[in-house]
Structure 1
């Protein structure tokens, strides 16, 4: 399992107080992939740009896809741009992958055989590992979970990310999530104003 898969699993856990937005989660998943690639030596970070490293990507299909999207030549891609490009619909990609791996299953709500389907976690070693990392307060996973509003981890002021590169990536994820929220709020205001125009005085 990867950090991104662990993050997706804990976001799907029924315990959180609120549902994580798909856009927020997608950006955080892209950040988690980047951190795993950095940890494997497949990429490094120079200031705010992603530079290919000497090592190959970990043996994971989605991380391999992520590594294949790294800009191979200067000027290298900025972390923020990577998050938006890789993060597009990434939560749906991870849902499909985890369903294929047996980590998730679709079940119908209610007793009727034609009721709406919803996705549930399966009790697997992967799920237990993800929950264990969360309960232990593993810093990287806790920081990413905090960015998307998942509770249960240590408070922000208790998170200790000793690695400057990890801090840079997590900060970029936070900024991207805040930017996405600003876009949502702006659209809400615009839609409300538009509706008021049609309703009239």
Structure 2
């Protein structure tokens, strides 16, 4: 299992104090891919720039696709740019992958043979692995989930993340999620103002 897959599994299993927006999830999944690609030595970070490493096939199809999508020309891509480019629709890609692999099923009502659109995680080794990683309080997974409002904020006794590259990615993820939320709030205000103009006529 990869960090993006574990994160998606935890998101579906644990849930959040607030509804998880697909745009937020996509951004955080893109960040999780960078963290795993750093761990696989498929890239390094120079400041906030993603510097691709040697090309080789990775064991996970989606992570391999992510590695293939890296910008390989200088000045390379910033982590922030990667999140927005790679993250576009990424939650749907991961959901479709889990479904095609039988790890995610569409729930049907007992007496109505119609797809209700609700999904449920199958009991699988992958699900148990993600649950074990979550229960252990693994700090990277906890930080990524925290960007989505899942879990408790880390306390002072929580283990710190020592890898500077991972810290850089996590900071960019949090900034991107906050930026997307600001865009949503601006849109709500603009729509409300537009409605008020129409009501005033």
| TM superposition score category, shorter chain reference | over 0.9
Judge conservation of contact 1:44–1:51 (CA < 8 Å) in 2.
Answer: yes
Residues 146-165 of structure 1 aligned to structure 2 (within 5 Å) = 146-151=146-151, 153=152, 155=154, 157=156, 158-165=158-165
Identify the residue that residue 49 of structure 1 maps to in structure 2. 49
Aligned length: 200
Shift of 1:14: 5.0
Instruction: Provide the secondary structure at the position in 2 that maps to 1:112.
Output: coil
What are the within-5 Å matches in structure 2 for residues 19-168 of structure 1?
19-54=19-54, 56-109=56-109, 111-114=111-114, 116-151=116-151, 153=152, 155=154, 157=156, 158-168=158-168
- 3-state SS of 1:19 partner: coil
**2-structure distance, mates of 1:79, 1:165:** 10
Shift of 1:114: 3.1
Q: Residue 143 of structure 2 aligns to a residue in which SS?
A: helix
Deviation at 1:199, TM superposition (A): 1.1
Retained in 1: the 8 A contact 2:37–2:43?
yes
Deviates more, 1:58-67 or 1:76-85: 58-67
Which has the higher mean CA deviation after the structures are superposed, 95-104 or 47-56?
Answer: 47-56
Query: Which residues of structure 2 form unaligned runs of 5+?
Result: none
8 Å Cα contact 1:57/1:63 also seen in 2: no
Q: By how many angstroms is 1:111 displaced?
A: 3.6
**Conservation of the 8 A alpha-carbon contact between 1:109 and 1:118:** no
Greater Cα offset, 101-110 or 170-179:
101-110
RMSD: 1.7
Tell me: higher relative CO, structure 1 or 2? Use CA pairs within 8 A at least 6 residues apart: 2
Structure 1: give runs of 5+ residues left out of the alignment.
none
* Preserved CA contact (<8 Å) 1:49 1:76: yes
TM-score normalised by length of structure 2: 0.93
Shift of 1:56: 2.7
Q: Deviation string for 1:126-159 (max 9, x for gaps)?
A: 00100110110111111100111101x5626535
